[in-house]
A and B are shown apart, each in its own frame.
Chain A
Amino acid sequence: MALSGMRGLSVFISDIRNCQNKEQERLRVDKELGNIRTRFKNEKGLTPYEKKKYVWKMLYIFMLGYDVDFGHMEAVSLISAPKYPEKQVGYIVTSSLLNENHDFLRLAINTVRNDIIGRNETFQCLALTMVGNIGGREFAESLAPDVQKLLMSSSCRPLVRKKAALCLLRLYRKNPDVVNVDGWTDRMAQLLDERDLGVLTSSMSLFVALVSNNHEAYWNCLPKCVKILERLARNQDVPQEYTYYGIPSPWLQVKTMRALQYFPTIEDPNARRTLFEVLQRILMGTDVVKNVNKNNASHAVLFEALALVMHLDAEKEMLSQCVALLGKFIAVREPNIRYLGLENMTRMLMVADVQDIIKRHQAQIITSLKDPDISIRRRALDLLFGMCDVSNAKDIVEELLQYLSTAEFAMREELSLKAAILAEKFAPDLSWYVDVILQLIDKAGDFISDDIWFRVVQFVTNNEDLQPYAAAKARVYLDKPAIHETMVKVSAYILGEFGHLLARRPGCSPKEIFSIIHEKHPAVSASTVPILLSTYAKILMHTQPPDPELQKQIWAIFKKYESCIEVEIQQRAVEYFALSKNGEALMDILAEMPKFPERKSALIKKAEDTEADTAEQSAIKLRAQQLSQMSNALVVTDQRPANGNPPVSQLSLPKLPSSVTGSDDHNSANQISQENGILTEVDSQSPAEDLLGDILSPLAIEGPPSSTVHPQPNTYSGLEGTEAEVRAIVPAEEQANSVQPIGNTEERFHALCLKDSGVLYEDPFIQIGIKAEWRAHHGRLVLFLGNKNTSPLVSVQAILLPPSHLKMELSLVPETIPPRAQVQCPLEVVNLSPSRDVAVLDFSYMFGNDVVNVKLRLPTVLNKFLHPITVSAEEFFPQWRSLSGPPLKLQEVVRGVKPLPLLEMANLFNSYRLTICPGLDPNPNNLVASTTFFSETTRAMLCLIRIETDPADRTQLRMTVASGDPTLTFELKEFIKEQLVSIPTTHVPAQAPPPPPVAQPASAPAGMIDPGAMLAGLL
């Protein structure tokens, strides 16, 4: 028998092993713990060897499941022992017993640091290992530079450096700032040149974590990864000890391919070609072999290669190879491979358009839904869920329903949730949807969350055609001898609301409906009684002329509950009783429920919200997000939150659209909504409560159907305050000009935004014309000042107020303009950076004794620095994908858009030099546009725009703007928004001078009500 080398420890372990039962074991452990305690108390007599032995014993006892808190201190104190054997035990047992949140660890920080910076390699290793395993934030803050030094040191052995790499990874996960040092990315690149495969393996793990958070910083590492992969895949220069069953380190191959998945594209043609050759080899060259370990290892590489191919959106040929392989895998008997085939097919659905090919495997996948292994069934369920669409929804949902009856408990909840979502999303008709949900409740009532039955009630309430059908169905289920309580709730609710629609059918008189529902009453819990009471009240109201006998029965029930201990029940009973005595009021108050506002399904939201907890962001998810921004149509029920904001529910429509994350929540935190006569505090931060407020409150007495929400006055007043401040910045001395302009100056300005010559301003004495030429980021304007008079205009002054992003030079303006003369004043413009601000010309002259002063906006607007460009799909999509997310790609749902037919909107875009590229977006309701922006800082920069309109509601749309410069993206987005929200009109009275736009960029209403835009304006 192998012995531990510590006799006392071996004896103790043997004793434990000889215990006949748990009780004996406990006695033995207690005895030992007592012994250890006393020994630790009189530390004097304790030799280092004994101390070490006791600490190991403690770890053993801890593994048995006993509490050894008292010994933490002893373990930690061993860390500072001078000799290796004790120090080693201290480090190892501490990292097994404690975690990063234990205060004791702080005591060790100094020793740990000394060990790391000290000269003893063994101590360095011990310290790095412990920090790598349980180091917390505090360690990250104090140790990161030292760990980095070891990692990069040329004098350290690989042994130390690989530990340093992973230790740094741990510290980075605790505090990403640890790599925020100059020159770090170069060092990372240097690490990837490492020849020692142990160090390289550790460094690659570190790299994956870094690149998953910020691929931009690591482009220089991309070719190196390709090189590493090539070296491994071709087995060049790989030491024997790093091959595993003949395969060059499968783990490093996998990690390297994982790292590559975080780069949106691979542009360098050489790297790309090399990589594809390698991938092709892996895809084609992986055979099934007898040796399990070899087979697993090679398939580990193969599946990672598949993921990388899916990510890179390889030539269609390779993608179809992948689908073919996966199709093969899901049919094999080897369970692991089948499992992974199903899993990867599901992932593939997220990123590639392969639905139709995968549908061919539907039968095979359904077989896996009946596999004895729950792991495989789960994957099959996920895949079926992912591949479901209108064409196969009926088949798939029916399979799921069938499976539900036999599925074990662990899966029923997920199964029913998924079936409910699919039924809702893809219902070919609504009656089928009702059927499915009622079947679900019938078969798996325990697993049906409230969300599911709330949703069906919402649907039925909102669809009149559905009401008699749903009522009839509910009536049928009530005939069953034993039904689930949720079924009682939903059918009582539906029959209360719509039972009267069935009145003429047999068995559906109010009295019959009442008695069949009331039959269930004795068996229901307190949460259902209030619903039943409402239903009774509604039945009573619908019974015209009143049926005295029914009345008596129902009143008796109300009476009975008048003193119920549950306050909700008691209140309803008392109120319904009082109300039903007063016939007419009852009619009003219990009238049919108003429609629910359309909103995103809570179920779908719930399914989307289940966020996986992973160390690195999922590459596939990142990818899918990029893609969904491309191809998701704006459908009310399937709307993804823009910029991660919670979707603004319709309930809170008065909320202002906001591009500043989170501000929504604050605005409405104290919002009180008056719904159906019940004042409900709606906490908009928790959508669940919001939903409850929605569906439960109607169950109480219903007021006149005024389900509107009051706007929040404080929000507005707050904004008005800001607005006033904005205005206050504007020079206030608007002199009352006695001279009125001719024509609408505002309109003239807007016209000039679109064309290059025309009149900028005119009054009885002067006409100012403008002619402009634009070339890249330069512009040349000529102002034509024409004196219409027979006497000269004197004291002519033109002061240019350029915004900070424009360099402008106005040539001299003569002080006097002779009668009937026209002077030309050239004006040079250089655009330095993207901005929506415009230049203002402060123009004044004297006529007689009157000073005329106008402030004119010059049409040096953002779109003048745009150059129309048409891009093809091949050019557009890679660009669009590579610009992933904020701040380079911004998305916003714009409401209050002036409704325009799509064609007109396209024309509008074209007129602003945003070229509409037809055919890029498969959805005919969407527009995709491209343009090049010129400025000195950005040079020529491609901008891509996507507009998703909602055919049902032309006043809202979702806009995504992307470019290589964050300011440009933001400015362009705001610019377009301004054009969409307010098409230049004559809303400014003709005689009013144009509002001086100094601090108020292009005063569109959008800018006023959008706090985001306002903030931007202020900044």
Chain B
Amino acid sequence: MIRFILLQNRQGKTRLAKYYVPLEDSEKHKVEYEVHRLVVNRDPKFTNFVEFRTHKIIYRRYAGLFFSLCVDITDNELAYLECIHLFVEILDHFFSNVCELDLVFNFHKVYLILDEFILAGELQETSKRAIIERMGELEKLE
């Protein structure tokens, strides 16, 4: 299962943090700091996987943004790696050509999208269309 999802830029600013396991605030900030340090200096030619405490970080970099998932060591790494990409595609579709600023100023929308995509640390929906349509429904309600 996914323990947490982080979206951080190169400087380590958190753009989104979602935890599916109970952590104290101090622990959350520590985790964010450590994960950033762990992934930021890795060579692009390296694997997208790196061990983190008793778990594994599956991360992928898009321009200046790092998407990191913390998963169990027994989980299927590539499946989660593509899960990141699917999420990015959904964001890209929703914001039409997403950039970091979209995510900064609309962080609350990102949380909404994420909640349609992943729940309880597991994939909920893999159809881009279903999620985009759902977002349309929700926007109408606001």
Contacts and interface: CB of A to CB of B under 8 A. Distances in A.
Co-assembled chains A and B: yes
B79 interface: yes
Given A92-B108, A201-B123, A251-B126, A373 B74 contact: no
B112 A92 contact: yes
**Chain B interface residue number, banded:** 35 or more
Given A92-B115, A303-B76, A99 B124 contact: no
A166 B120 contact: yes
Given A63-B16, A373-B46, A375-B49, A167 B76 contact: no
B55 to A, nearest CB: 7
**Chain A interface residue number, banded:** 35 or more
Nearest to A340: B77
A96 B128 CA distance: 24
Contacts of B119: 128-129, 132-133, 162-163, 166-167, 202
Given A1-B105, A92-B111, A258-B76, A242 B46 contact: no
A373 B44 CA distance: 10
A65 B14 contact: yes
A252 B82 contact: no
Contacts of B19: 99
20 contacts: A63-B17, A64-B14, A67-B25, A132-B119, A133-B115, A167-B119, A251-B79, A297-B78, A300-B77, A300-B78, A303-B76, A303-B78, A304-B76, A304-B79, A339-B49, A375-B50, A612-B54, A612-B72, A612-B74, A613-B55
A300 B82 contact: yes
Given A162-B125, A201-B126, A250 B120 contact: no
A341 to B, nearest CB: 11
A515 to B, nearest CB: 47
A296 B47 CA distance: 12
A993 B2 CA distance: 68
Contacts of A69: 25
A614 B79 contact: no
A508 B127 CA distance: 77
A377 B121 CA distance: 29
B87 to A, nearest CB: 12
Given A250-B82, A300-B82, A613 B54 contact: yes
A267 interface: no
Interface string A8-32: 0010010001000000000000000
A800 interface: no
A129 B134 CA distance: 14
Interface in B94-115: 95, 101-102, 104-108, 111-112, 115
Given A133-B119, A373-B45, A618-B74, 10 more contacts: A1-B105, A4-B106, A99-B23, A99-B24, A132-B120, A170-B120, A205-B122, A335-B46, A336-B81, A375-B49
B83 interface: yes
A140 interface: no
Contacts of B49: 336, 339, 375
Contact of A619 (B14, B23, B24, B74): B74
Interface of B: 1, 13-20, 22-25, 29, 32, 42-43, 45-51, 54-55, 72-79, 81-83, 85-86, 95, 101-102, 104-108, 111-112, 115, 119-130, 134, 138, 141-142
A242 B115 CA distance: 19
B47 A336 contact: yes
A372 B47 CA distance: 11
A696 interface: no
B86 A244 contact: yes
A907 interface: no
A254 interface: yes
Contacts of A56: 108
A806 interface: no
Contacts of A614: 72-75
A336 B60 CA distance: 12
Q: Which 6 A-B pairs have the closest CB atoms?
A: A300-B78, A99-B22, A614-B72, A615-B1, A205-B122, A170-B120
Interface string A231-263: 000000001011010000111101000100000
B134 to A, nearest CB: 7
A134 B111 contact: no
A378 interface: yes
A363 interface: no
Given A170-B120, A335-B47, A201 B78 contact: no
A335 B111 CA distance: 32
A233 B39 CA distance: 34
A198 B48 contact: no
Most buried by B among A3, A69, A251, A612: A251
A715 B72 CA distance: 43
Nearest to A10: B105
Contact of B107 (A60, A89, A167, A197): A60
A17 B100 CA distance: 12
A615 B120 CA distance: 11
Contacts of A210: none
Nearest to A129: B115
Contacts of B129: 241
Nearest to B56: A375
B141 A84 contact: yes
A162 B124 contact: yes
Interface in A592-646: 612-616, 618-620
Nearest to A252: B126
A3 B95 CA distance: 11
Given A96-B18, A133-B120, A169-B122, A4 B78 contact: no
B124 A163 contact: yes
A338 B46 CA distance: 11
Contacts of A616: 1, 72, 74
Nearest to B78: A300
Given A63-B16, A100-B22, A201-B124, A299 B78 contact: yes
A375 B141 contact: no
A372 to B, nearest CB: 7
Contacts of B24: 99
A101 B22 contact: yes
Most buried by B among A17, A338, A614: A614
B121 A85 contact: no
Given A92-B112, A96-B18, A202 B72 contact: no
B47 A376 contact: yes
A669 interface: no
A5 B112 CA distance: 15
Contacts of A122: 138, 141
A338 B49 CA distance: 12
A620 B75 CA distance: 11
Nearest to A16: B104
Contacts of A650: none
Contact of A4 (B45, B72, B108, B124): B108
A254 B79 contact: yes
B89 to A, nearest CB: 9
